Amino acid sequence: VARARGRVTIEDVAAAAGVSRQTVSRAMNDMAEINAATRERVLAVARELHYRPSRFGRGLAGARQHTLGLRLHDLMNPYFPELAAAVARTAAERGWTVVLSDEQSATEPAADLRALVRQADVAVGYLDVGDPRVTDTLHGLPFVQIDRPPSSPFGGVEFALDGAMDDAVAHLGSRGVRRPAVVAVDPASGRMAQFAERLTAAGLPVVAQAAIDGDPIAAGVAAVQELLSSHPDVDAVLAFNDLMACGVMKGLHAAGRDIPVDVRVVGVDGLTLGTVVTPALTTLAIDMRAVARDAVDLAIGIIEGTEEPRAVRRVEHELVVRDST
């Protein structure tokens, strides 16, 4: 029963059971044309020998098994697990396997991508498009970018915040907000610039508060502290995302401000986290299931040739009003 060479192969099982390799293959794969007694005998021998079919041999010879690479920036940031859960679900429904690549796990820049390139048929998720080291590492691996910026060289899923922002501005106005602030690492660009623009257009002058680039919670706490010292009269804070919004709420609690009476707080993403904190967070939520479905379907479509490699989909955010406003 002991093996000479490193691996137990189908040949070993065949020899030990006194049958051909094909018969072992039939037994292992539950195929029809095999005697029930033979199958049991072969399976018993296989178990005894600790035989496990090589996924490489199987993949080469048989029907391709497809693998989706999921690239995330940081699993410790609760946004990404929610996305990962949705992607895993969709991939499982489609019969695809998911290999995980967490940028924070990389021992050197983009090192995590090398594994994806070797293991996945197509990848989905987050990627720093500006960094040529990153895109070079892909070596032609098709990539479906989530939260795709307009300038991206890849296709993917774009996020549309416009409608939800309009709703949020109207909502805050109706709540009597007069002095809103936006808090982000770079409050003058991207979605926060849009936000500020809309608030201004609605007659609400906006304070922009920059936050440090790091742990979003800590950044949110620090940012409100600074904000409150320079503008003690703010009555609403729009944070870049839910995580930073939670930091903002922590900072407001610490400063003795009542939410939502003194200050109203709005986040972006729609994380479950927002329902756990007190008060529950009003947010511009995105439907992760829809994002995952679109991304995975694009990815599979690219592999199957039914989608253009750079196809784009769009998912809308939606205002979810909870207790923080």
Partner DNA sequence: GTGAAAGCGCTAACAT
Partner DNA sequence: ATGTTAGCGCTTTCAC
From the list 28, 49, 98, 127, which residue makes contact with DNA (rule: CB under 7 A)?
A: 28
Three-state DSSP class for 4? coil
Single out the segment in contact with DNA by CB under 7 A; choices: 16-24, 99-107, 158-166, 237-245. 16-24
| Residue among 57, 13, 11 nearest 38 (CA) | 13
From the list 15, 16, 21, 85, which residue makes contact with DNA (rule: CB under 7 A)?
A: 21
Strands (E), 240-322: 264-269, 282-286, 312-320
Using rule CB under 8 A, residue 119 touches its own copies: yes
Interacting partner of 212 out of its own copies, DNA, none (Cβ under 5 to 8 A depending on kind)? none
Single out the segment in contact with DNA by CB under 7 A; choices: 18-26, 193-201, 248-256, 295-303. 18-26
Interacting partner of 277 out of DNA, its own copies, none (Cβ under 5 to 8 A depending on kind)? its own copies
Give the angle 145-147-101 at the CA atoms, nearest 5°.
Answer: 50
- State in angstroms the smallest separation of the CB of 264 from DNA: 57
Interacting partner of 150 out of DNA, its own copies, none (Cβ under 5 to 8 A depending on kind)? none
Using rule CB under 7 A, residue 62 touches DNA: yes
Rg (CA), the chain: 26
Q: Specify whether the CB–CB gap between 294 and 94 falls below 8 A.
A: no
- State in angstroms the smallest separation of the CB of 305 from DNA: 16
Using rule CB under 8 A, residue 92 touches its own copies: yes
| Residue among 156, 108, 110, 106 nearest 132 (CA) | 110
Interacting partner of 10 out of DNA, its own copies, none (Cβ under 5 to 8 A depending on kind)? DNA
Using rule CB under 7 A, residue 63 touches DNA: yes
CB neighbours of residue 137 within 10 Å: 18
For strand 312-320 and strand 282-286, is the pairing parallel, antiparallel, or unpaired?
Answer: antiparallel
- Between 39 and 198, whose beta carbon lies closer to DNA? 39
Single out the segment in contact with DNA by CB under 7 A; choices: 31-39, 201-209, 279-287, 317-325. 31-39
Single out the segment in contact with its own copies by CB under 8 A; choices: 56-64, 154-162, 181-189, 200-208. 56-64
SS (H, E, C) 156-220: EEEEECHHHHHHHHHHHHHCCCCCEEEEECCCCCHHHHHHHHHHHHCCCCCEEEECCCCCHHHHH
| Residue among 304, 246, 289 nearest 146 (CA) | 289
- Between 123 and 181, whose beta carbon lies closer to DNA? 123
Quote the tokens at residue 193.
């610039």
Applying CB under 7 A, which residues contact DNA?
5-7, 9-11, 18-26, 28-29, 32-35, 38-39, 51-54, 56-58, 60-63
